[in-house]
């Protein structure tokens, strides 16, 4: 699976400020799902998954 650039950034960073900034740039559910898939398959960082869920909620709200 080819992951979007933001997933590569998440994968390469443990700096929470950079991770938060990367998540904030996610504008669509497809990219967000790719990030969640990466986390679930590899690192399973609970805080990152929680931030991704929050971003998913924000994206859903923006669409409505």
Residue 1 confidence class, pLDDT cut points 50, 70, 90: low
- The pLDDT-based confidence of 11 (bands split at 50, 70, 90) is confident
pLDDT in tens, 33-61: 988 998 898 888 898 899 999 999 999 99
d(CA 62, CA 2): 26
| Cα end-to-end distance, the chain, whole Å | 30
Residue ranges per structural domain of the chain: 5-63
**38 vs 15: which has the higher pLDDT:** 38
Mean pLDDT of the chain: 85
Average pLDDT over residues 7-23: 78
**Joined tokens for residue 6:** 């933001």
Taking the CA atoms of 20, 22, 27 and 29 in sequence, report the sign of the dihedral they define. Answer: negative
Tokens of 16: 């929470």
| Cα 62 from Cα 37, distance rounded (Å) | 22
């Amino acid at each position: 699976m080819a992951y979007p650039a933001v997933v590569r950034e998440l994968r390469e960073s443990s700096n929470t400020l950079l991770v938060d900034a990367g998540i904030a740039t996610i504008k669509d559910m497809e990219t967000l799902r790719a990030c969640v898939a990466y986390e679930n398959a590899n690192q399973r960082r609970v805080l990152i998954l929680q931030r991704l869920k929050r971003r998913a909620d924000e994206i859903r709200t923006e669409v409505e």
